[in-house]
Amino acid sequence: MNKKWLLVLSLSALLAGLGLFWPQPAPPQQQPKPELARPDTVAKVPSQPAAAAPQQITVTEKVPQPISESFKLLASAYAAELELPGYSRPLSADDEHLLNPNRYVPQSVPLQGGASATIVLPKYRFSYPETVPVTLEINGLQVFDVSVQLVQESSADSAASAEMHGTPQRYSATLEPEDNWNGAFEVQVSFSANGRNQVLKTGIEYHNPVATITGVGEVRGLGSDMQIPLQLEVKQAGYYRLRANLYTDKRQPLALLTATEKLGSGKQEITLRAFKTVLRNNSGPYILGSFVLEKRPAVPGELTQYGGSEKAEYPLDSFSLNQLSDEPWQPDEQELQRLQFLQQMAEQQ
């Protein structure tokens, strides 16, 4: 993962807990209880008690040195983040998790005698009506009766199953979907070896799209932004977030673009914006792809639902950057207050 995004994640986690470092008010001082005079003692009462001068208490809290150094790093990283809007972030070849957000990472499982087995899938998240191809790779072991089953995690019900066939090192099968598949599923691959039955498991997501990207409108300029309107067909109204990657026509990554909109059902439009700086003087043509379309939960406990796109990517024509202004990005007041607080914490010794 790119160091830039690690700093962003660390910063987000710290900002969530900033309240821990705000100075706390000093507890009220208790007045001493008066002592009772013994019967054989006469208490002397001054005729005119002098007025006690009010005491001023100064509380100075110091941030421990290691935390102060952390704040310096985070303040610097946050200041750099504020130089560009959150909806348009630079993208580089090092940002593997952003360039391929739907990547499935195979995990090899060690078996007895130095053997191993691995479930291989083309991606992690599927959309109806896509099939689910499953491959089992075997190393150093002879297996028999290989089969695969897809189980819905919420109910533990079997959604589909199939026998797997192939070579002694590689077995494959394809699961045909149903239109009611929705949510998290577990892929279970079973086989027998050396007289024992074994099961390997991995997780995927399968969704019936709640919205679909159907096309891209005419790109236009407004202020410092190149605006890219996308047409959608929405089945379920709600708050949607769309993320997409902008590439050069040579497939060099330029920017991660994000937009959040409340959409009704039917034909809708959502606009992505590319800030002039992230275009790096590249006037296109471009490629827009790697879409992640999410319907955000409306109430606590509701699951995120996903949409899809009719095409994996869309070409964009050349765009004259002279249409865009050179105005720098201006953070909002809340962002500036966060930065000021981080800087103040970093300066404390």
Interval 206-213 mean pLDDT: 96
pLDDT higher than 70, residue 32: no
pLDDT > 60? residue 310 = yes
pLDDT value at residue 23: 39
Question: Letter for the amino acid at 111?
Answer: L
| Percentage of the chain exceeding pLDDT 70 | 74
The whole model's pTM is what?
0.73
Q: Give the residue extent of every domain in the chain.
A: 115-207, 211-323
Residues ≥6 apart with Cβ < 8 Å to 57? 26
Q: Residue 178 — very low, low, confident or very high, per pLDDT cuts 50/70/90? A: very high
Instruction: Say if 115-207 and 211-323 have the same CATH topology.
Output: yes
d(CA 128, CA 132): 10
Q: Are 227 and 219 in contact (CB under 8 A)?
A: yes
DSSP conformation class of 78? H
Average pLDDT over residues 317-331: 90
pLDDT band at 54 (very low <50, low <70, confident <90, very high): low
Which CATH topology does 211-323 take? Immunoglobulin-like (2.60.40)
pLDDT of 300 higher than 80:
yes
d(CA 11, CA 86): 14
pLDDT of residue 347: 73
User: Coil, helix or strand for 117?
Assistant: strand
pLDDT category, 334, cuts 50, 70, 90? confident
What three-state secondary structure class fits 94?
coil
User: How are strands ordered across the β-sheet holding 132-139?
Assistant: 108-110, 116-120, 132-139, 170-175, 165-167
Check whether 26 has a pLDDT greater than 50. Answer: no
Residue 266 near residue 236 (C-beta atoms within 8 A): no
CATH architecture, range 115-207 = Sandwich (2.60)
Rounded to whole angstroms, the Cα distance separating 228 from 237 reads: 22
Mean pLDDT of 142-157: 94
Strand 144-152 relative to strand 125-127, pairing = unpaired
Average pLDDT over residues 9-24: 46
Is the pLDDT assigned to residue 345 strictly greater than 90? no
Q: E strand or H helix at 318, and its extent? A: none
Dihedral class, residue 283 (left if φ above 0, else alpha if ψ from -120 to 50, else beta): alpha
6 pairs with which residues across the strands? none
Q: Where are the alpha helices (DSSP H) in 40-190?
A: 65-81, 96-99
Closest CA to 204 of 304, 295, 308, 104: 104
The distance of Cα 259 from the centroid of its chain, to the nearest Å, equals: 14
Is residue 79 very low, low, confident or very high in pLDDT (cuts 50, 70, 90)?
low
- Residue 309: CA count within 13 A, CB half-sphere: 18
- 47 token code pair: 């005729």
Per-residue b or e along 122-154, where b marks 16 or more CB atoms closer than 10 Å to that residue's CB? eeebbbeeeebebbbbbeebebeebbbbbbbee
